[in-house]
Amino acid sequence: MRLVTFEMPELGTRSGLLVGDRVVEIPGRSVRDILTGGERCLDQIRELETRDGLALGAARLATPVPDPQKIICVGQNYRDHCLEQNAPIPTSPIIFTKFITSLTGPRDNILLPRVSQQIDYEVELAFVIGKAGKHIPAERALEHVAGYMVFNDVTARDIQFGDKQWVRGKSCDTFAPCGPALVTRDEIGDPQNLKLEMKLNGQVMQSSNTSQMIFGVAYLISFLSRTLTWTPGDIVATGTPPGVGVFRKPPVFLKPGDRLVATVEKLGSLENTCVAE
């Protein structure tokens, strides 16, 4: 099942199911409300898939969960990404956050802020929490996942490196495109065996598999639950593989008109165009 949030001029913002090339509206509930309702609510929603829907082209897809309580990201979580920047392999997850105002839809423009000249791309697998909990054992961790989506951890490298920490350079407005849908856990199977790829203007820049993660989804859920309580709708971006622009020779940074296509197997693609502020 593919949960979306969409907008239409006559309807405003609604939640829905993405079924092929149509969107079936889910009346009266946001995606986060649905996740909070648990498996029984998801089973009820699944029955709507056979109903008539709107043409996908008539709707603007927004970020699937526009109102998470947390957006948590993992840095340097692919061994080859550490090697390309001559960084040591982490022995514990490197955690940072992005602000909710950085969220944007899977087809929306990425705004390049005029204060940065070194804006970069990062394709990632993201998971969304569906079941609250704390002190979760790793062997039960995936039970807390509602589903998965594609995530682009856009980054202003000059701000990131100049600040000596990561949050501001990674939390500019529109720096977290995600979607196109929240694909429920039952459709994915093993999250540690998914191909992911980033194309810039048609050229493949990143190509890897989530099997290459240093810390997998289950471990991240368990590790973070030692100090925080998971709530439905929380988003976690799990890190990017090698091939980012800043470590290329010469470096490649985003400019107005650039088109990014970020893809994760079974989840779909984000297609975002860069525009100047």
pLDDT digits (tens, 9 = 90+) for 184-219: 999 999 999 999 999 999 999 999 999 999 999 999
AA letter at 16? G
- Decide which of 62, 83, 113 is a domain's last residue: 62
Distance, CA of 179 to CA of 14 (rounded, Å):
15
267 and 221 fall within a common domain: yes
Q: Give the model's confidence band at 8: pLDDT under 50 very low, under 70 low, under 90 confident, else very high.
A: confident
3-state secondary structure (DSSP) of residue 46: helix
Q: Would the CA dihedral through 176, 179, 182, 95 be positive or negative?
A: negative
pTM of the model: 0.96
22 and 131 fall within a common domain: no
Distance of CA 224 to the CA centre of its chain: 18
238-258 confidence digits (pLDDT tens): 999 999 999 999 999 999 999
76 and 10 fall within a common domain: no
199 and 268 fall within a common domain: yes
Instruction: State which residues form the domain around 51.
Output: 2-62
Q: Cα dist. 256→110, 113, 199, 231 in Å?
A: 9, 11, 16, 37
243 and 261 fall within a common domain: yes
58 and 100 fall within a common domain: no
Q: Give the pLDDT mean for 259-268.
A: 98
CATH number for 219: 3.90.850.10
Look at residue 86 and tell me whether its pLDDT is greater than 90.
no
172-191 confidence digits (pLDDT tens): 999 999 999 999 999 999 99
Look at residue 10 and tell me whether its pLDDT is greater than 90.
no
Average of per-residue pLDDT values in the chain:
96
Distance, CA of 102 to CA of 201 (rounded, Å):
23
Report the DSSP beta bridge partners of residue 272. 260
8 and 88 fall within a common domain: no
Question: In the prediction, which pLDDT does 11 show?
Answer: 79
Question: In the prediction, which pLDDT does 273 show?
Answer: 98
47 and 102 fall within a common domain: no
48 and 173 fall within a common domain: no
13-32 confidence digits (pLDDT tens): 999 999 999 999 999 899 99
Query: Among candidates 16, 106, 12, 14, which has minimal Cα distance to 2?
Result: 16
Look at residue 261 and tell me whether its pLDDT is greater than 90.
yes
Q: Count structural domains, the chain.
A: 2
Q: Give the pLDDT mean for 231-235.
A: 98
51 and 97 fall within a common domain: no
Residues written for the chain: 277
100 and 131 fall within a common domain: yes
112-160 confidence digits (pLDDT tens): 999 999 999 999 999 999 999 999 999 999 999 999 999 999 999 999 9
Look at residue 83 and tell me whether its pLDDT is greater than 90.
no
Look at residue 85 and tell me whether its pLDDT is greater than 90.
no
85 and 222 fall within a common domain: yes
Question: In the prediction, which pLDDT does 266 show?
Answer: 98
Q: Would the CA dihedral through 62, 65, 66, 71 be positive or negative?
A: negative
Distance, CA of 148 to CA of 221 (rounded, Å):
14
Distance, CA of 88 to CA of 24 (rounded, Å):
47
